[in-house]
């Protein structure tokens, strides 16, 4: 971990929780001992964004889990970056594997969403990652570089972007990429940024890991040179999320 990259931990609550359980979780986070050298952002379900932003301590960021590529219009069921900002929320997660593979979002659409969210002033947690057959077929790099390029083509200001590498085979499966597997992809991604964007961006961009991160796996993952934090799914709904936030003391 480079000293100029602040550790970043995102919690993706996905389609979970209600006002009671999320209220309890928020109270746990607000009263927890949190490492001040870590940026923490909680991804709440759309319907609870306002509730979460009002209740969660100001030291935590809040993210929407998705948004659309335009400011307003006849797009039933969608939300825009302008609406997200109107709730006091500063981040959005885009390109999550569930959006890609459950809901069929293309690289192109994700790129358009990234461009619009950044133009509207949101921070973007942009997700990339290969499926199991792609890893077993030896094309991990090809897949993640292609996904990264479409995101990169839509970014002007990299200071508002965090890249989340999430091997799809490790999300919600209990399988975690080994710290070595995670580090290997993160290192290659950083090299890609150096070659294709700039050395400065390669040094400063935070590349975080997602995929069955728990209190048990987080410390060793956090010790890898190019792992700058986590995007946490199921464990972000539990008290152990505080352990994960504090993985790098």
Token output for 91: 């981040």
Distance set, CA 21 to CA 25, 237, 238 (Å): 6, 9, 10
Calpha distance 236→11 (Å, rounded)? 5
Per DSSP (E only), the strands in the chain are 7-12, 38-44, 61-64, 91-94, 123-128, 161-165, 206-210, 229-232
Pairing of strands 38-44, 161-165: unpaired
Closest Cα partner for 13 from 240, 237, 163? 237
As a whole number of angstroms, the distance between CA 42 and CA 61 comes to: 6
Which of 78, 96, 184, 199 is an active site residue? 96
Give the closest residue to 66 by CA, choosing from 151, 124, 146: 124
Number of H helices, E strands in the chain: 11, 8
Backbone angles phi, psi at 93, to 5 degrees: -95, 130
Centroid of chain to Cα 248: 18
Active site residue 240: no
Choose the catalytic residue: 98, 105, 130, 166.
166
Of 165, 168, 177, the C-alpha closest to 218 is 177
CB 91 within 8 A of CB 61: yes
Q: Is 101 among the catalytic positions?
A: no
Which positions are annotated as active-site residues? 96, 166
């Amino acid at each position: 971990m480079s000293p100029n990259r602040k550790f970043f931990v995102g919690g993706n609550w996905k389609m979970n929780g209600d006002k009671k359980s999320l209220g309890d979780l928020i109270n746990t986070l607000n009263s927890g001992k949190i490492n001040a050298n870590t940026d923490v952002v909680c991804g709440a379900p759309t319907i609870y964004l306002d509730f979460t932003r009002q209740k969660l301590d100001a030291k935590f960021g809040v993210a929407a889990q998705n948004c659309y590529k335009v400011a307003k219009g006849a797009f039933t069921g969608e939300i825009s970056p302008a609406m997200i900002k109107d709730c006091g929320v500063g981040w959005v997660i885009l390109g999550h594997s569930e959006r890609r593979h459950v809901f069929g979002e293309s690289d192109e659409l994700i790129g358009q969403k990234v461009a619009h969210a950044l133009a509207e002033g949101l921070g973007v947690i942009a997700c990339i990652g290969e499926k199991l057959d792609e890893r077993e077929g030896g094309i991990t790099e090809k897949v993640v570089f292609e996904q990264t390029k479409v995101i990169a083509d839509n970014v002007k200001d990299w200071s508002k972007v965090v890249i989340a590498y999430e091997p799809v085979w490790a999300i919600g499966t209990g399988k975690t990429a080994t710290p070595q597997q995670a580090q290997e992809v993160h290192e290659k991604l950083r090299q890609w940024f150096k070659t294709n964007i700039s050395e400065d961006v390669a040094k400063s961009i935070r590349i975080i890991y997602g995929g069955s991160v728990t209190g048990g796996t987080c410390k060793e993952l956090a010790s890898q040179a190019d792992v700058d934090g986590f995007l946490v799914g199921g464990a972000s709904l539990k008290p152990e999320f505080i352990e994960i936030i504090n993985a790098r003391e």
